[in-house]
Structure 1
């Protein structure tokens, strides 16, 4: 057997060379469950708005691991005791934090499976891999689930200033070209510290945090919640909904076996067994896009029309509103489209619908971003910052929208 050099490096366009810290991490990266992330887009259908946004969850996970390496080095340099076992567990936990994402990331969450969050599926994957790797992921799972006594370790993975957010903002900004989302992750990580096992940011890094929170707000409005991204992702979820509806009526659908399994069966967290997990691991963007290419020729008007919208980027008209969409107006539009297309009012609801978007850059009620002041006291960033706009960023902003076919503008 030819020996394999497992201490390889990745050449990343964001950070340059990223090293794999040890052979266990290499083996996890090489596992088919993790390699699947190469086929899961990081920003769903946002490439329909920003053509460069074709990067994947694989890119993101490797980037997060790199930032975690920097964070651990910084904290150890400042005297925070982190054992070799804890260090490795942090790398594993952040590497696998998004392994449970389904096709097109958030776009199809709750569509492929019923009300199961991607974090729940990530836990299932991690537990499965832990058996395969003979218990070597146990501590990483404890940290990921918030069961480990050192609170700051979970905060590095999941908080309002974690390695996950630091990477996706910088990476998504780079690939989409939305420059407002760019942040200085190096500066943010250099300012990290730990007080009483809680992650804090040194006071001299406060302006970098303010920039980080502002970048997050702008990225949500300009990229993640861009109206074209929203209507594209809503169309994608409705394609799956229609496919499931047709399947329940006994109508045959042509698609790959893993996707067909989830279309034909109602899967919840309660019945998500190992066999289901293995089937889920076979699902990626290509299965869904292949199905959409097939279904554009399906006899069902609703299904083929929605599929053509995605494939040809000929999407529904989306109108942003300050208030909730008028129900009478929606009914009128549905009736009109049903009459034009010769479909039922229920089927017209796939094309005429309303919704709302929420954006909150900083949640003061959640676990706060704590600032370590020069006098060694710890304070919430909202109380420390002299920026009035930061207080505004902590308020939840809601916008409403209404979608309908463009043909209704002509009639």
Structure 2
């Protein structure tokens, strides 16, 4: 197995092993910039900034690697999120999924992909799992006092202890002293992004017009299983309820994984943003399902929008052997407006691409009005196998109804 320890750019991709998935529809590897470093160093924030900058001039994709490996064992008294002994940190699982997503976004027309995520502090990146990728890496670091301040400001449940983060950062400094890196201490996101591009030779440094979208995505041998898909209008509570369902299933001793469709579908052709690409998202979901299922998993909780019946059909066609239960969450105008304001004020999970966070009150009112109209339209269309009303109910109560309907804990 080839291990990238010096983090050098653009290795020649070796032949894929069987676990890396089917061959891509094109033989040219996709340029991928992998930003890595300790928690709170700014990987996702800087990665999203680069995604925004690059997508104005070339078709670009982005993924936070944490979103490609949310598959833990049942919690124990000592460990809320046990990881497989054969893949501590789930680094190999995330890397396999990155390789598959690279093939998919290249088929969609992307000319590069920005990824952010942690790596094994000693081993680095397993480049033999990335045959579809021309890899460039850049490590972000920060002084210990800066990391302490940022971690204290985050204050998120489930975050690693501060001392563990500092120990991981020190291990990266110790084990990879000569790798390409940018110090984020005291610097703005824009400045760090500029330094990353300078450090990486103005990545991706493309020449020529590139290739158009290939039109067809790789097909994945997905195999049977069950997927719960929670859909609904903006701010209806998809992610919050979905995570509670996922937690309840795990706490009952069942294995399951969690995927946010928005988080695996960040792709923009050059120019203005485009509507959701359900074909790309469905192919990415099938790829991730294949990787999870190879570990023995048979149940997956998915959250994300379903605009219409044709979109749902796209996912069923990409996962023909999987039983997909589409559960539509519904809320009235007052509840949606309250949740939109909640998100706009920075509450809730911090996720890439959250276009509510930090918006002015007038804009939040517009978003709430549009979300209410969407909720009513979905209700009129009767979309979904199950409708669950969320007004005036706790998250645990809503999740409990969904779990009872599924029968996963019977």
Q: Is TM (by shorter chain) over 0.5?
A: no
More helix by share: 1
- By relative contact order (CA 8 Å, sep 6+), the higher-ranking structure is 2
Superposition TM-score, scaled by structure 2 size = 0.24
Superposition TM-score, scaled by structure 1 size = 0.23
More strand by share: 2
Asked which structure has the greater CA Rg, the reply is 1
